[in-house]
Amino acid sequence: MAFEFFDMVFQQPDIDPNLDDLPLEAVTYPATARRDAEVWTAEVHGLPDGLSAHAEAATWHEMEEALVARVPRDLKAAPGTVIVSVEPADQNAVTAIRALTQARLNRALAEQAERDAARAAVRLLASQGWDAEDIGTVLRLPTARVENVLAPAEV
């Protein structure tokens, strides 16, 4: 039987359950971007010591990359300690982008929940004496996936 569709969720990496515990010390500076004719112009807000930063470019990508490179350099900040978060000036665009970002986060969390539930179901059924082929059939997973879940974890 072909259960590739249900096995696809295992093609994504697991989300680290300890993400909230990671020692991340970075400052985020918001920036607002506007498109005028053929040019994107962005201004960074809230920089310390009266510093200002802006960028102009033909594409969003070029403008964002310029800010991401410039702001840490101007602040003389260590790599990875400054984040520049650029959003359009148009609030409808911001709402649409944030909705998509939230939907992507929700999908990632749902996929993690599915992987966790599949692993738990495999282990439960195996503990009840089910063989890998029957587990795969009832859960609509390839037997190889079931065997992978049941294999001892590599350290």
Above 80 in pLDDT, residue 15? Answer: yes
57 and 32 fall within a common domain: yes
Residue 15 is assigned to a structural domain of this protein: no
Residue 97 is assigned to a structural domain of this protein: yes
- Looking at residue 20, the DSSP 8-state letter turns out to be G
pLDDT tens digits for 91-124?
999 999 999 999 999 999 999 999 999 999 999 9
Report the C-alpha gap between 118 and 110 in whole angstroms: 12
Above 90 in pLDDT, residue 80? Answer: no
Q: Which residues contact 32 (CB under 8 A, 6 or more apart)?
A: 42, 43, 45, 86, 87, 88, 89
Q: How many beta carbons lie within 10 A of that of residue 68, not counting itself?
A: 16
Q: Which residue has the higher pLDDT, 17 or 134?
A: 134
pLDDT at 155: 61
What would the mean pLDDT of 14-42 be, rounded to a whole number? 87
Q: Which residue has the higher pLDDT, 12 or 96?
A: 96
62 and 111 fall within a common domain: no
Residue 155 is assigned to a structural domain of this protein: no
Tell me the DSSP string of 26-38.
-EEEEEEEEEETT
Residue 38 is assigned to a structural domain of this protein: yes
| 89, 111, 131 - which closes a domain | 89
49 and 94 fall within a common domain: no
106 and 79 fall within a common domain: no
| 89, 115, 140 - which closes a domain | 89
What would the mean pLDDT of 24-39 be, rounded to a whole number? 92
pLDDT at 41: 97
Tell me the DSSP string of 42-102.
EEE---GGG--EEEEESSHHHHHHHHHHHHHHHHTPPTTSEEEEEEES-HHHHHHHHHHHH
CATH of the domain at 63: 3.30.2390.10
73 and 95 fall within a common domain: no
pLDDT at 18: 75
79 and 110 fall within a common domain: no
Residue 116 is assigned to a structural domain of this protein: yes
Residue 2 is assigned to a structural domain of this protein: no
Mark residue 37 as left, alpha or beta (left: phi above 0; alpha: psi -120 to 50; beta: remaining).
left
Whole-number average pLDDT of the chain:
93
pLDDT at 57: 97
Which residue is it, tokens 């939230």?
102
Backbone angles phi and psi of 43, in degrees to 5 = -125, 130
Whether 149 contacts 118, CB under 8 Å: yes
Res. 90 pLDDT band, cuts 50 70 90: very high
Report the C-alpha gap between 41 and 54 in whole angstroms: 7
Range of the domain at 145: 90-150
42 and 61 fall within a common domain: yes
Domain count, the chain: 2
Above 60 in pLDDT, residue 68? Answer: yes
